[in-house]
Amino acid sequence: MSPSSATPFPPYQAYPPNSPPPINTLGAHPENLPYSGHTHAGSGQALVRSKRHWPLANVYFGFSGILGFKERWSLILFVVFGGALMAFCIARAEFFNVNRLLELMIPGEWYLYRSEPYKGLLMFHIYTSIFAGFWAVWQFIPAIRRNHVSLHRLNGYLTLILLIPSTVIGSVIARRAYGGAVAIQAAFYVQGILVTYSAIVGYWYVKKNTRKHRKWMLRSVVYLAASVTAKLIQLISRQIVSNVGSYYTIWTCPEVQFLQAVGHGVPDFASTYPACASDPNTSTFADQNSIHLLVHASMDETSVNRGSAVREVVAMSIFVAILIHALGVEIYIRSTENMNRFRRGFVLERTEDGDDEKPVNDL
């Protein structure tokens, strides 16, 4: 065989069954390449056309390339969702001041957390979850993963050391969260299990299969970020509940008495809650724990009613947020599967880490 007739690739039949044909990039113009640094296979020409019609495209894709993103929408997704998680963590940093928790927390919630051991556990959860959420975002910048492996590993270990205990403690104090209703506890337990399980599986794969490691750690952080979406859902749903006007939640006398004592009560406590209006000198708060009240859920009334509106919607908000995030992360993982390629010479193949033969199709 003459040199001119030689091919740099073996015949297509030599590649594994169901794998895509090899991609010959020798002498190919960049516009005709089926693989691009920011797109999946077959979208190179569309990318070039988009740059011609979008003046800021060069800036966007240039910055995206600096950060190491390969898919065209990855930078936008990172800024929107990663930025939302970081902003949420920064905003919640004011909770570090334990003396401000009464005014920062939902009305009625501080009553259940003001005593030990829940007070200490709450502060531990606040500190660890905020730092874990903030640091976790940096784990998904590809340029750090590829060019600064030691930094990526160090930050990853620190994030896990904070994330897992924070989630476990968060599940423990869920017994008192927003009144401690069973549905609310279940919502926090489900989120905690998803975050912890995904993080543990991701850690298990860290040295065995980096692609599976990435997928499971991505799931873990996405489930963690469901708290941000839940807050947004609460803002909408609690107003809907208020407009409907027929929702109530159950409170105890000590809870409403506490709010009254700290100046967040109702103008006429005795007529509003006559069952709880006994003289504290003759009947302590603890004696009235068995007395339960129906409190109207409304954002347009007193602090007690606003706290009731939040209690009414918090479980639903968390479950809906988890569902949205679960669907979103699975769609993203599968839509970016084409980028999981292994370069062998001038050929790009979909293969597993450390395996040149099998196509990628793992979860």
- Which residue, 8, 18, 21, is CA-closest to 349? 21
- Which residue, 250, 253, 249, is CA-closest to 289? 253
Query: For residues 292 and 17, which has the higher predicted lDDT (pLDDT)?
Result: 292
Tell me how far apart the alpha carbons of residues 159 and 155 are, in angstroms, rounded to a whole number: 6
Per-residue pLDDT, 361: 45
Lowest-pLDDT choice from 48-52, 234-238, 271-275:
48-52
Asked if residue 295 lies in contact with residue 253, where contact means CB atoms within 8 angstroms, the answer is: no
Q: Which residues contact 254 (CB under 8 A, 6 or more apart)?
A: 111, 285, 286, 288, 289
Per-residue pLDDT, 359: 43
Tell me how far apart the alpha carbons of residues 357 and 349 are, in angstroms, rounded to a whole number: 9
Tokens of 167: 């989630």
Asked if residue 171 lies in contact with residue 184, where contact means CB atoms within 8 angstroms, the answer is: no
Q: Where does the pLDDT of residue 267 fall: very low under 50, low under 70, confident under 90, or very high at 90 and above?
A: confident
Per-residue pLDDT, 274: 83
First to last CA, the chain: 44
Q: Where does the pLDDT of residue 262 fall: very low under 50, low under 70, confident under 90, or very high at 90 and above?
A: confident
Q: Where does the pLDDT of residue 58 fall: very low under 50, low under 70, confident under 90, or very high at 90 and above?
A: confident
Residue 161: how many other CB atoms lie within 10 Å:
13
> Is the pLDDT at 170 greater than 90, yes or no?
yes
Per-residue pLDDT, 278: 64
The 3-state DSSP class for residue 177 equals: helix
Asked if residue 266 lies in contact with residue 323, where contact means CB atoms within 8 angstroms, the answer is: no
- Side-chain half-sphere CA neighbours of 318 within 13 A: 21
> Is the pLDDT at 140 greater than 60, yes or no?
yes
Lowest-pLDDT choice from 95-109, 127-141, 284-298, 318-332:
284-298
Tell me how far apart the alpha carbons of residues 126 and 110 are, in angstroms, rounded to a whole number: 14
Q: Where does the pLDDT of residue 66 fall: very low under 50, low under 70, confident under 90, or very high at 90 and above?
A: confident
Per-residue pLDDT, 279: 55
Beta strands in the chain (DSSP E): 248-252, 292-296, 342-344, 347-349
Q: Where does the pLDDT of residue 316 fall: very low under 50, low under 70, confident under 90, or very high at 90 and above?
A: very high
Q: Where does the pLDDT of residue 38 fall: very low under 50, low under 70, confident under 90, or very high at 90 and above?
A: very low
Q: Is 330 exposed, middle or buried (0-12, 13-18, 19+ CB in 10 A)?
A: middle
Element (H, E) at 9: none
Tell me how far apart the alpha carbons of residues 226 and 322 are, in angstroms, rounded to a whole number: 6
Per-residue pLDDT, 69: 83
Query: For residues 346 and 89, which has the higher predicted lDDT (pLDDT)?
Result: 89
Angle at 235 between CA 231 and CA 238, to 5 degrees: 115
* Cα–Cα distances in angstroms (integers) from residue 279 to residues 166, 269, 274, in the given order: 41, 12, 11
- DSSP tag of 185: H
State pTM to two decimals: 0.76
What percentage of the chain carries pLDDT values higher than 90?
A: 47
> Is the pLDDT at 126 greater than 90, yes or no?
yes
User: What does pLDDT average to over the chain?
Assistant: 80
Asked if residue 351 lies in contact with residue 339, where contact means CB atoms within 8 angstroms, the answer is: no
Radius of gyration of the chain (CA): 27
Q: Where does the pLDDT of residue 288 fall: very low under 50, low under 70, confident under 90, or very high at 90 and above?
A: low
Kindly state the average pLDDT of the residues 79-100.
92
How many residues are listed for the chain in this entry? 363
Tokens of 338: 């084409």
Tell me how far apart the alpha carbons of residues 278 and 109 are, in angstroms, rounded to a whole number: 23
- What percent of the residues of the chain are helix, what percent strand, and what percent coil, each to the nearest 5? 65, 5, 30
Query: For residues 359 and 196, which has the higher predicted lDDT (pLDDT)?
Result: 196
Kindly state the average pLDDT of the residues 308-323.
96
- DSSP tag of 343: E
The 3-state DSSP class for residue 3 equals: helix
Tokens of 212: 């599976």
Element (H, E) at 327: helix 303-335
Query: For residues 42 and 65, which has the higher predicted lDDT (pLDDT)?
Result: 65
Tell me how far apart the alpha carbons of residues 201 and 9 are, in angstroms, rounded to a whole number: 38
- Side-chain half-sphere CA neighbours of 264 within 13 A: 20
